């Protein structure tokens, strides 16, 4: 088995999924075709394989969907969802934790609060790593499942107007999704207060920037909402900012608008909207299971 040497760009996503920058449109089509096939199948091609879920930050959906994906494919999971009960509390470094786990499993799914964590893990690891969220950096598997959701719900991505609203500064899901959407011919609209605005590096000249949902609600084919990432704010940045999509907004939205959220929501989408057929955030989770099955199979199915 070869050992990782390069940086993110140039590292095959089959060896380590660090950033959405690693995927081409062809790769994405391949993963989505695989997701379609595995969603409908009853095969267990990862029988005998083991992954470790190593989460230094809380998670419900990402950790349990990887757990479910692996189990559905016939494999097993070492769940270290609460690193406080592992040797991390004894002061063990991330590098040593990874070097330990590579003896016991075939792939590590890693969520960490530091932005450079996945690359550090990749540098020491002989087995594939999947970035399940690195600080305020990226969340590439979430972005893939978000894109898959848009394709499933709308039949494609080209020509759509996609509005991203919420904490665009610290939200890693919107960072990864924005980069991934650049591969398609769609229009992006960013809605956030100044303090939570999308960082300049993610903005392209044709993008539209707003502060109020009312300005974009009627033109959006997709509205992707995120929560304020309070845990990433320090001192002066910590302020009260509330926004919510309500039935009032949905009356002005297109009949086929797709309302998405990576979840957890903490008030950004009123629960009255859950029965609206345009609310796709629960379906989004199911799509995510299939995309994660595809990634696991593509990365360790044939090695
Ligand atoms: C997201 C995350 O962890 O970045 N959650 C998830 O994986 N679905 C979004 C969030 O926590 O706000």
5-48 residue pLDDT tens: 344 557 899 999 999 999 999 999 999 999 999 998 888 999 99
Residue 3: pLDDT over 70: no
Mutate to test the pocket of ligand 1, among 264, 285, 291 (most ligand atoms within 8 A of CB): 264
Nearest CA among 177, 186, 185 for reference residue 219: 186
User: Which residues are within 8 A (CB) of 92 and not within 5 positions of it... i.e. 6 or more apart?
Assistant: 86
**What b/e readout covers 125-147, taking b as 16+ CB neighbours within 10 angstroms?**
bebbbbbbbbbbbbbbbbbbbbb
State in Å: Cα 179 to ligand 1 middle: 17
Beta bridge mates, 162: 188, 222
Over residues 157-177, the mean pLDDT reads 97
Among this protein's residues, is 90 annotated catalytic? yes
Among this protein's residues, is 172 annotated catalytic? no
Mutate to test the pocket of ligand 1, among 20, 139, 174 (most ligand atoms within 8 A of CB): 139
* Fold annotation for 140-285: Rossmann fold (3.40.50)
State in Å: Cα 261 to ligand 1 middle: 9
Compute the distance between CA of residue 255 and CA of residue 222 in angstroms, rounded to an integer: 11
pLDDT in tens, 79-123: 998 777 777 777 889 999 999 999 999 999 999 999 999 999 999
Mutate to test the pocket of ligand 1, among 67, 81, 142 (most ligand atoms within 8 A of CB): 142
Which of 14, 61, 232, 265 is catalytic? The answer is 61
pLDDT in tens, 258-300: 999 999 999 999 999 999 999 999 999 999 999 999 999 999 9
Compute the distance between CA of residue 131 and CA of residue 29 in angstroms, rounded to an integer: 20
Pick the CATH number of 7-139+286-300 from 3.40.50.1370, 3.40.50.1100, 3.40.50.720, 3.40.50.261: 3.40.50.1370
Tokens 């999509």 sit at which residue? 245
Q: Do domains 7-139+286-300 and 140-285 have the same CATH topology?
A: yes
Which of 72, 139, 175, 227 is catalytic? The answer is 139
pLDDT for position 1: 29
Over residues 174-190, the mean pLDDT reads 98
Which of 15, 49, 72, 111 is catalytic? The answer is 111
State in Å: Cα 174 to ligand 1 middle: 10
User: What residues line ligand 1, using a CB cutoff of 6 Å?
Assistant: 61-62, 133, 139, 142, 172-173, 226-227, 262-263
Residue 60: pLDDT over 60: yes
What is the atom index within ligand 1 of the atom nearest the CA of 172?
A: 4
Please state the three-class secondary structure of 183-250 as a single string. CCCCEEEEECCHHHCCCHHHCCCCCEEECCHHHCCCCCCEEEECCCCHHHCCHHHCCCCCCCECHHHH
Q: Would you kindly state where each structural domain of the chain is located, as residue ranges?
A: 7-139+286-300, 140-285
E strand spans, 1-91? 16-17, 50-55, 76-80
- The band of 235, judged by pLDDT with boundaries at 50, 70 and 90, is low
Over residues 186-201, the mean pLDDT reads 96
pLDDT for position 303: 62
pLDDT for position 198: 97
Q: Which two tokens stand for residue 205?
A: 């000249």
Compute the distance between CA of residue 165 and CA of residue 224 in angstroms, rounded to an integer: 6
Over residues 151-157, the mean pLDDT reads 98
Q: Whose CA is nearest to atom 11 of ligand 1?
A: 264
Compute the distance between CA of residue 141 and CA of residue 290 in angstroms, rounded to an integer: 11
Asked whether 280 and 259 are in contact (CB, 8 A), the reply is: yes
pLDDT for position 238: 59
Rounded to 10 degrees, the C-alpha dihedral 162/196/64/102 comes to 110
pLDDT for position 145: 98
pLDDT for position 230: 86
Q: Whose CA is nearest to atom 3 of ligand 1?
A: 133
Q: Which helix (H) or strand (E) holds 258?
A: strand 258-260
Asked whether 221 and 256 are in contact (CB, 8 A), the reply is: yes
pLDDT for position 69: 98
What is the atom index within ligand 1 of the atom nearest the CA of 142?
A: 7
**What is the pLDDT of the chain when averaged over all its residues?**
93
Apex 88 CA angle, 83 and 92, nearest 5: 155
DSSP 3-state assignment of 131?
strand
């Amino acid at each position: 088995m070869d050992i990782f040497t390069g940086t993110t760009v140039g590292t095959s996503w089959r060896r380590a999924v660090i950033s959405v920058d690693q995927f081409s449109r062809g790769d994405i089509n391949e993963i989505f075709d695989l997701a379609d096939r595995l969603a409908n199948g009853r095969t267990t091609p990862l029988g005998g394989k083991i992954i470790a879920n190593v989460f230094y930050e809380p998670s419900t959906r990402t950790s349990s969907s990887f757990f479910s994906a692996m189990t559905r494919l016939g494999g097993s999971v070492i769940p270290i969802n609460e690193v406080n009960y592992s040797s991390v509390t004894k002061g063990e470094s991330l590098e040593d934790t990874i070097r330990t786990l590579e003896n016991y499993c075939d792939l590590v799914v890693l969520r960490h609060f530091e932005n450079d964590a996945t690359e550090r893990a990749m540098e020491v690891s002989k087995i594939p790593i999947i970035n399940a969220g690195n600080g305020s950096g990226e969340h590439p598997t979430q972005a893939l499942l978000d894109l898959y959701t848009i394709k499933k719900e709308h039949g494609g991505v080209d020509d759509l107007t996609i509005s991203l609203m919420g904490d665009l500064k610290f939200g890693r899901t919107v960072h990864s999704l924005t980069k991934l959407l650049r591969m398609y011919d769609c229009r992006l609209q960013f809605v956030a207060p100044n303090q939570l605005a999308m960082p300049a590096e993610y903005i392209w000249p044709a993008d539209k920037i707003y502060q109020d949902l009312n300005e974009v609600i009627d033109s959006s084919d997709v509205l992707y909402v995120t929560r304020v990432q309070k845990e990433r704010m320090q001192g002066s940045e910590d302020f009260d900012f509330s926004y919510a999509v309500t039935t009032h907004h949905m009356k002005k939205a297109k009949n086929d608008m797709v309302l998405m959220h990576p979840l957890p929501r903490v008030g950004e989408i009123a629960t009255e909207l859950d029965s609206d057929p345009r609310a796709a955030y629960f379906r989004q989770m199911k799509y995510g299971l299939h995309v994660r099955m595809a990634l696991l199979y593509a990365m360790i199915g044939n090695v």
